[in-house]
Structure 1
Amino acid sequence: MNPKNERAELAADPRLGVGNVLTTLLERGTGLDTPTLTFDTEVDGHPAWHALTLAELGERVASRASALHALGVQPRDPVAVWVTDGADQVLSYLALTRLGAIPALINGRVPAEQAAEYIKRLRAVGVIADTPHWDALSAAGNTTELLADPAELGKGDPAAAPRPYRHHGNEPVVITHSSGTTGLPKAVTHSHHSLFAAIRHRLSLPKGQGLDRMLGALPSAHAATVIAVNLALANRAQLAVLSRQSGTHVLDSIESWKPQSVLGFAATWSELAGEDLSTRDLDSVRIWWNTGDCAHEAHIRKLIAVGSRESVTAQGRVHRPGSFFVDGLGSSEMGHSQFFITHTPDTKRYGRCIGKPHAFSDVAVVDDDGEKLGTGQVGQLAINAPTLSLGYWNDSVTTYRTRRDGYFLTGDLVYRDEDGYYYHVDRAVDAVDLGDGHKLYTMLCEERVLADCADVLECTVVAVPTDEGRVVTSVLLMLDPRADQDADRTAEVLAALEPHVARTVERVVVVSPDRIPLGATGKVRKFLLRKRFLDGELLGKESSARQVAA
């Protein structure tokens, strides 16, 4: 097998997509003994952290496909998957797509009441759930049938599995969901080709540094994990899938498994940045690979200070201390990060810079009327790319509300500079118009506070318009445990903000992380914070509150 030729052949195969990468590789019959996926839990007698070969992975998937087929699962059946372990999410996804069914992967941390309503709206034919999740669903009034506990599916006879389903490019192949920060998560429908489009692009390029051994510190029910699994398989690379994305678990896994690259979301980088990384063995890491929301400079700088990387110089390839951080911006609906920028200890372009668009992405910045804006003008990000989802399952109203002139309206506010770099300033639902041509962008405020206030590990800014026509802003700080928890940081925080924003700040409060409501993927639920503030739960009653301005 010539790896270079195989990557080119896979890139050129129009039949290939996220529904059949595994079965296509098995049909090729090469590299059956090469390691593929590793899970942090036991799988059908294989211990945790055992690397499944391609043949072993194919057998484990076929056994589950056989069991599901015997339970009556048919092609095009939507099946909800609500489980704890990454192995159960990934193997259920692979088995259901082998049958041509449509797995609807649900983050295990979604509240049971939301999960029950979400599954009801899916009109799923059944649910794959482990005991804790099934008990929670039952208590929440779920009426959808339990198909199986994932632990039982591995007992199926792989030889009895039906032939792999033949997927077509625009067919729905997997459903993932949005973060649910503004309410019930939305069911995002991906096609066979949409989630593979960025992988196909990468297969046409030279194989990237750090791609041979990847640690997936991503929520296992997310579209990003589906992409990571198929990226690893198509590149004959190893991927370890974590069931938990907490900072300590990720660091422990890096030390024991020695990945070259780590894939994660901004919430995980925040937790890692709060650890003393100098005490950890992170030398194997060359690349931190971010997706979803763009990451904060304060967190990136701590990560790129550790690990090591290869650089090309006039003297050839040299090994240097410090790692790469690949940032961008994506979402379930976008199907893949649409931008990229690479940070090293030597780079200086930050300020929520998300980089430049990938070659496959047509990017526009538009106003409220859908008209394209020019350089330096903040507007809504609009994307037209082959990675885009088909829309929202059983929700054509929301699907068409977010599409305009061939573009998907992301809900993100961005601008482009004269060099063609894009910058993310906020979500449209969180920004506030202050009048006189001034806007308050909460995420940009958080970026500035984190960059300028060394003792602050995480920051949440919430702006609430009042009935009197004022805007009241609260700055919520989570501090380094080693810092003085009682020091007044008001002046430092206000100095980091633009004057028109600082004038709206009513309180700077040091809070415990458990006071900040988070979605299943770790995003702050600002709409819920705004509601709490409007209902009178201002956090300013705490002794650490600093009243700033009337």
Structure 2
Amino acid sequence: MEMFDLLAQRARVTPERPALEDLDSGERYSYRQLNERAARLAAAAREHWGLREGDRLAYLGHSRAEFFAMLFGCAKAGLILVPLNWRLAVPELEVLMDDCEPGALIFGGEFAEAAATLARRRGPLTAVALDGAGDGQRDYCADLAATEPDPGPHPEKDPDTPWYLLYTSGTTGRPKGVIQTFRMMLANHLNIGLAVNLTGDDVLLNVLPLFHTAGINLYSSALFLVGGCVLVARAFDPDQSLQVLENRATIFFGVPAVYQALLDHPSFDGERLKGVRSWGCGGAPLSLPVAQRYAEQGIRVRTGMGMTETGPTVFLLDEELVIDKAGSVGRPQLLTEVRIVDRDGRDLPDGEAGELLVRGPNITPGYWGRPDATAEAIRDGWLRSGDVARRDADGCYYIVDRWKDMYISGGENVYPAEVEKVLERHPAIAEVAVVGMPDGRWGEVGKAYCGLHPDVEAPDRDQLRAFCREYLAGYKVPRAFQWVDALPRNALGKVTKQELRDDAARR
């Protein structure tokens, strides 16, 4: 199998269909225009930025439609795109740059100072400005305009050729660049596109960051293959999002924090959102109370699960099961195999929790420059997810917790997610995260970090323990509770538990 130029093919099939729109700038691309723009980037990278096949091209900037011209332009030129997490500080960005060694850095105007610092410290690095070039910098728009693009299909490639790198958060160690390939993109398209029934008539509102797999692949890359339209927001804004969802979008994918913010908006009205035919959620579990409130508005939010290493789609819950199977991530999708195993690698029966293993064409070939980490994560073709999961008798899967989040209290395994689900039922608690903290008698005990609903007084800690004891064994009940204004989260809304573990260990 060889990989052909999918964007060029789509531009040939539906040249004038709308492909992209930038909701902030108003910039729009048809498939013909997007293909031409990608071809111009491929030419500019060769002619003006000194890049050759296999080189890395980094991007530091907020979400914008132009990103996808960079992504497909790199595919045409055989370059590897590296979207950088713009939330990171310059020293953290330097770690990623040292790891992938890009030959050029494209940056948005809001990151001009950080880009200049990175260019100074890294030696030979071509800095390319999207929004007006300074001294010693290339002008992105001028360089693209000065090229003679070849919009025809690029040379065929092996489908496992690295296309772009997505860096893990690195909260537990050195960040790893997860290699993304053409094969992974096609597998994800079949896994999620068929499940959601994407068509060329669909319009996606994309509010997720484009340095993350969800922003790129749920459902943007899959929708491009069928000729749909992607509306790119610079960042999630509830007012803008509700307006677009009411008037234009037909499909949507968000994280729980996004769904909560939409639900809390004073103008939220399910009746006005009937044009959205499919709602998806991932990144973290959607709580049952939130799922129920959406269902009461006639909206069934389908929860799924995946990883950067899996392209990402692995699981998706059927729409009719979102309440009856609340908490489940659904069943494995078409091109994915999964197993649940114990610590010795033996398969476990229904109902028992163990580590989730994943195999299929959607799995990354590994981590950039890290054969050690690759060998540790992928064994005999199976990716070790690091997730604790169980399967019920109907074949639906539940993510119980992360292996690293589990702690042992008095010799018993405690999965914080189980405790968190109980505490979320308490009427005073808006959000909660539980971690293990050292204890001289029990080894570890639980500590709960709780955010309260507005205008609600903090409940008595002994009352909270009694509340938990109604649903949990005594060793699972948190020993300590701490009130917080907000839980620390990453760009996709996941709680960064390592920060909380560090805090609990100090106190």
For normalisation by structure 2, the TM-score amounts to: 0.88
Aligned partner of 1:217: which letter?
V
Distance 2:304 2:399 in 1: 10
Distance 1:246 1:470 in 2: 44
Determine if the alignment matches structure 1 residue 147 to structure 2 residue 127: yes
Distance 2:347 2:31 in 1: 47
Secondary structure of the residue aligned to 2:188 is helix
Larger mean Cα displacement after TM superposition, 211-220 or 291-300: 291-300
Q: By how many angstroms is 1:378 displaced? A: 1.0
Determine if the alignment matches structure 1 residue 296 to structure 2 residue 287: yes
Distance 1:418-1:344 versus aligned 2 partners, 3 A rule: closer
Determine if the alignment matches structure 1 residue 133 to structure 2 residue 111: yes
- Which of 65, 69, 76 is the aligned partner of 1:98? 76
Distance 1:493-1:232 versus aligned 2 partners, 3 A rule: farther
Distance 1:285 1:489 in 2: 42
Do the aligned residues in 2 keep the contact of 1:325 with 1:344 (CA within 8 Å)? no
C-alpha distance after superposition, 1:194-217 (max 9, x if no partner): 122131456678935897111112
Aligned partner of 1:83: which letter?
G
Q: By how many angstroms is 1:137 displaced? A: 4.9
Distance 1:489-1:532 versus aligned 2 partners, 3 A rule: closer
The answer for the alignment partner of 1:475 in structure 2 is 448
Distance 1:179-1:490 versus aligned 2 partners, 3 A rule: farther
Do the aligned residues in 2 keep the contact of 1:381 with 1:412 (CA within 8 Å)? yes
Distance 1:213 1:494 in 2: 48
C-alpha distance after superposition, 1:285-338 (max 9, x if no partner): 2322123334222232233333xxxxxxxxxxxxxxx12312111110111221
Determine if the alignment matches structure 1 residue 512 to structure 2 residue 503: no
Secondary structure of the residue aligned to 1:349 is coil
Distance 2:244 2:475 in 1: 41
C-alpha distance after superposition, 1:435-490 (max 9, x if no partner): 45x3211122222322x224433221122233544423222222332x42344475
- Which of 404, 428, 443 is the aligned partner of 1:429? 404
Distance 2:338 2:359 in 1: 7
Distance 1:528-1:154 versus aligned 2 partners, 3 A rule: same
Do the aligned residues in 1 keep the contact of 2:253 with 2:281 (CA within 8 Å)? yes
Q: By how many angstroms is 1:230 displaced? A: 2.4
Unaligned runs of 5+ in 1: 1-13, 43-47, 307-321, 537-550
Distance 1:64-1:79 versus aligned 2 partners, 3 A rule: same
Distance 1:447-1:181 versus aligned 2 partners, 3 A rule: farther
Q: By how many angstroms is 1:248 displaced? A: 4.7
Determine if the alignment matches structure 1 residue 499 to structure 2 residue 472: yes
The answer for the alignment partner of 1:259 in structure 2 is 249
Determine if the alignment matches structure 1 residue 58 to structure 2 residue 35: yes
Distance 2:290 2:228 in 1: 28
Do the aligned residues in 2 keep the contact of 1:329 with 1:354 (CA within 8 Å)? yes
Do the aligned residues in 1 keep the contact of 2:281 with 2:303 (CA within 8 Å)? yes
Distance 1:427 1:345 in 2: 24
Q: By how many angstroms is 1:508 displaced? A: 2.8
Q: By how many angstroms is 1:233 displaced? A: 1.6
Secondary structure of the residue aligned to 1:458 is strand
Distance 1:499-1:327 versus aligned 2 partners, 3 A rule: closer
Q: By how many angstroms is 1:523 displaced? A: 1.8
The answer for the alignment partner of 1:530 in structure 2 is 501
- Which of 5, 22, 25 is the aligned partner of 1:39? 22
Distance 2:400 2:267 in 1: 29
Do the aligned residues in 2 keep the contact of 1:62 with 1:158 (CA within 8 Å)? no
Secondary structure of the residue aligned to 2:106 is strand
Larger mean Cα displacement after TM superposition, 80-89 or 278-287: 278-287
Secondary structure of the residue aligned to 1:190 is strand
Distance 1:460-1:201 versus aligned 2 partners, 3 A rule: closer
The answer for the alignment partner of 2:324 in structure 1 is 348
Secondary structure of the residue aligned to 1:505 is coil
Distance 1:226 1:208 in 2: 15
The answer for the alignment partner of 2:149 in structure 1 is 161
Larger mean Cα displacement after TM superposition, 288-297 or 364-373: 288-297
Aligned partner of 1:260: which letter?
T
Distance 1:185 1:32 in 2: 40
Q: By how many angstroms is 1:425 displaced? A: 0.9
The answer for the alignment partner of 1:312 in structure 2 is none
Distance 1:278-1:428 versus aligned 2 partners, 3 A rule: same
Secondary structure of the residue aligned to 1:154 is helix
Q: How does 1:296-445 map to 2 (within 5 A)?
A: 296-306=287-297, 322-343=298-319, 347-350=323-326, 352-435=327-410, 438-445=412-419
Distance 1:114 1:251 in 2: 34
Do the aligned residues in 2 keep the contact of 1:188 with 1:332 (CA within 8 Å)? yes
Do the aligned residues in 2 keep the contact of 1:477 with 1:509 (CA within 8 Å)? yes
Do the aligned residues in 2 keep the contact of 1:100 with 1:166 (CA within 8 Å)? no
Q: By how many angstroms is 1:135 displaced? A: 1.8
Q: How does 1:70-81 map to 2 (within 5 A)?
A: 70=47, 71-81=49-59
Distance 1:202-1:267 versus aligned 2 partners, 3 A rule: closer
Q: By how many angstroms is 1:341 displaced? A: 0.6
Distance 1:505 1:30 in 2: 59
Distance 1:57-1:336 versus aligned 2 partners, 3 A rule: same
Q: By how many angstroms is 1:187 displaced? A: 0.7
Larger mean Cα displacement after TM superposition, 329-338 or 82-91: 82-91
Q: How does 1:280-291 map to 2 (within 5 A)?
A: 281-291=272-282
Identical positions, percent: 21
Aligned partner of 1:391: which letter?
G
Q: By how many angstroms is 1:252 displaced? A: 4.4
Aligned partner of 1:485: which letter?
E
Do the aligned residues in 1 keep the contact of 2:179 with 2:368 (CA within 8 Å)? yes
Q: By how many angstroms is 1:15 displaced? A: 4.2
Unaligned runs of 5+ in 2: 132-138
Aligned partner of 2:232: which letter?
V
Aligned partner of 2:179: which letter?
T
Distance 1:244 1:176 in 2: 19
Do the aligned residues in 2 keep the contact of 1:414 with 1:426 (CA within 8 Å)? yes
Secondary structure of the residue aligned to 1:369 is coil
C-alpha distance after superposition, 1:128-180 (max 9, x if no partner): 22244342255577416143113432331376125634322111111112244
The answer for the alignment partner of 1:448 in structure 2 is 422
Provide the alpha-carbon RMSD of the alignment. 2.8
The answer for the alignment partner of 1:121 in structure 2 is 99
Distance 1:458-1:206 versus aligned 2 partners, 3 A rule: closer
Number of aligned positions between the proteins: 491
Distance 1:522-1:501 versus aligned 2 partners, 3 A rule: farther
Q: By how many angstroms is 1:344 displaced? A: 5.4
- Which of 250, 259, 262 is the aligned partner of 1:269? 259
Q: By how many angstroms is 1:39 displaced? A: 1.5
The answer for the alignment partner of 2:204 in structure 1 is 214
Do the aligned residues in 2 keep the contact of 1:304 with 1:344 (CA within 8 Å)? no
Distance 2:9 2:28 in 1: 20
